[in-house]
Amino acid sequence: MKPRKLHIKSYGCQMNVYDAQRMVDTLAGEGFVETTNADDADLVILNTCHIREKASEKVYSELGRLRVMKEEAARQGRRIDIAVAGCVAQAEGGEIINRAPVVDVVVGPQSYHHLPQLLARAERDGRALETEFPTEDKFAFLPPPKPDVIRARGISAFVTIQEGCDKFCTFCVVPYTRGAEVSRPVSKIVDDVKRLADHGVREITLIGQNVNAYHGEGPDGRTWPLGTLLHRLAEIPGIVRLRYSTSHPRDIDDALIEAHRDIPAAMPFVHLPVQSGSDRILSAMNRKHTARDYRRAIDRFRSLCQDIAFSSDFIVGFPGESEEDFQATLALVTQIGYAAAYSFKYSPRPGTPAAEMQEMVSADEMDERLARLQELIDSQQSAFNRASIGTTVDVLFERPARNPGQIVGRTAYLQPAHVIATEAIVGQVLPVKIESLERYSLLGELACPVPRLAAAPETMPTTHPSETTMGA
């Protein structure tokens, strides 16, 4: 039978990138192969994100384009199914069905394993919607990726260890769209990581909306925190780097900090969102920590791990934010000194408590504050990157770069690093003497002869999976 073609357009966070891969794996069992060309597809899935501004408007405008495509295909006697997945589907499923007749399937993030049945139901009944939080564990039903698919995705992979959030920050939809915190058992995560390592993966990023709230069942019957899980995963042959994202300051514990001290594979780069430096605003955000708590968490890391660096998320112009509150954010950034950070203007998410707040900061003030914050963050990031020049750093090589003859990899701090070399170094961690900096990329030369190790993956991805942020 001719394979059917599947195109997934994914928005937003790392979890969505991972979910898209799991949807591809699930539908591979139904004879679907992935295509990068939507015009060519028999099934188009919009894997949506509710975090960014005007998320649902973007979905409806994309659906407008898909409607034209679907009508044209129908004139040619070809059926195209359109599905909406992800957090917008979860939050606004019924409305999507009502407003966009072009949509055949709406599926929430906890129900991807039901996609084959939902497609069959849509073919039979015209439409299918599932946005419940099913009682069964979807991970038990999602098929593992095939070896050739793992190799094609490259040497760095995501593994979900935790989903959902119990924190209820007032600006965030995650607790409503992903549900309560659930952690996967250690044995399942170990199986996933072993399978990835067996097929060439060298770096694992453990993901969850609130990943350091991880509390999975261990093989000893006890509840394991993230720090203990990192110890177990570091024992798996082939895994040389472990990362995790996204963490909440309140869930930082000693086991996690000590894991950074004790496990060479635990990378010394932690994404720890703070959102604001003002306690008044942190309280309005229901963050459940103060700026002092956050500084203390950073100090605890730094006292045990001298080489550790941090990135963060900031929201500028949260309702009621005064110039004094904003100054507290600038002071915190100045004091911490970040290697990188993401900053956004506040925009209300329907259904969240903050969306009801009245004291809006004007658009001009938001723009002006965001520019000041980003200037400060950029200067810190540039200084951090410039400090690498002249030093020798370990780089995990990922793929050929766009410039012919160059191979690109990542340092421990996720900085892209380029050297002139052959593809034989892909998948290896090698020392690189850094010679210069070009915008955010480091350029250097190998500081050792190339050891002869495993062959490079047959195909390589074009971006590192950690180039997005999410949650906590």
Binding site for ligand SF4 (CB under 6 A): 165, 167-169, 172, 174-175, 209-210, 248, 471-472
Measured from the CB of residue 71, what is the shortest distance to ligand SF4 in angstroms? 38
Measured from the CB of residue 23, what is the shortest distance to ligand SF4 in angstroms? 22
Residue closer to ligand SF4 (CB basis): 83 or 169: 169
Residue closer to ligand SF4 (CB basis): 287 or 410: 287
Measured from the CB of residue 26, what is the shortest distance to ligand SF4 in angstroms? 25
Helix axes 14-28, 115-125, angle to 10 degrees: 70
Measured from the CB of residue 313, what is the shortest distance to ligand SF4 in angstroms? 8
Measured from the CB of residue 225, what is the shortest distance to ligand SF4 in angstroms? 17
Residue closer to ligand SF4 (CB basis): 275 or 411: 275
CB count, 10 Å around CB of 435? 13
Measured from the CB of residue 206, what is the shortest distance to ligand SF4 in angstroms? 15
Measured from the CB of residue 129, what is the shortest distance to ligand SF4 in angstroms? 25
How far is 131 from 187, CA to CA, in rounded Å? 28
Residue closer to ligand SF4 (CB basis): 92 or 181: 181
How far is 141 from 144, CA to CA, in rounded Å? 9
- What is the SS3 assignment for 371-403? HHHHHHHHHHHHHHHHCCCCCEEEEEEEEECCC
Measured from the CB of residue 175, what is the shortest distance to ligand SF4 in angstroms? 5
Element (H, E) at 437: strand 429-438
What is the tally of helices (H) and strands (E) in the chain? 13, 21
> Cβ contacts of residue 305 below 8 Å, gap of 6+?
257, 260, 261, 268
Residue closer to ligand SF4 (CB basis): 85 or 472: 472
Residue closer to ligand SF4 (CB basis): 247 or 388: 247
Residue closer to ligand SF4 (CB basis): 141 or 168: 168
Measured from the CB of residue 226, what is the shortest distance to ligand SF4 in angstroms? 15
- Quick one: CA dihedral 228, 286, 413, 254, positive or negative? negative
Residue closer to ligand SF4 (CB basis): 131 or 276: 276
First to last CA, the chain: 45
> Are the C-beta atoms of residues 54 and 73 closer than 8 Å to each other?
no
How far is 445 from 390, CA to CA, in rounded Å? 11
**What are the angstrom distances between the C-alpha of 78 and each of 69, 119, 325?**
11, 16, 57
Residue closer to ligand SF4 (CB basis): 465 or 471: 471
> Are the C-beta atoms of residues 51 and 173 closer than 8 Å to each other?
yes
Residue closer to ligand SF4 (CB basis): 268 or 353: 353
Query: Kindly report the CA angle at 231 between 225 and 237, in degrees rounded to 5?
Result: 140
Residue closer to ligand SF4 (CB basis): 89 or 174: 174
| Structure token pair of residue 243 | 């990362």
**What are the angstrom distances between the C-alpha of 180 and each of 22, 163, 167, 168, 177?**
21, 8, 9, 10, 9
DSSP string across 239-281: --EEEEE---GGG--HHHHHHHHH-TTB-SEEE---B-S-HHH
Measured from the CB of residue 21, what is the shortest distance to ligand SF4 in angstroms? 21
Nearest to 171 by CA among 289, 278, 315: 315
Measured from the CB of residue 250, what is the shortest distance to ligand SF4 in angstroms? 9
Beta bridge partners of 304: none
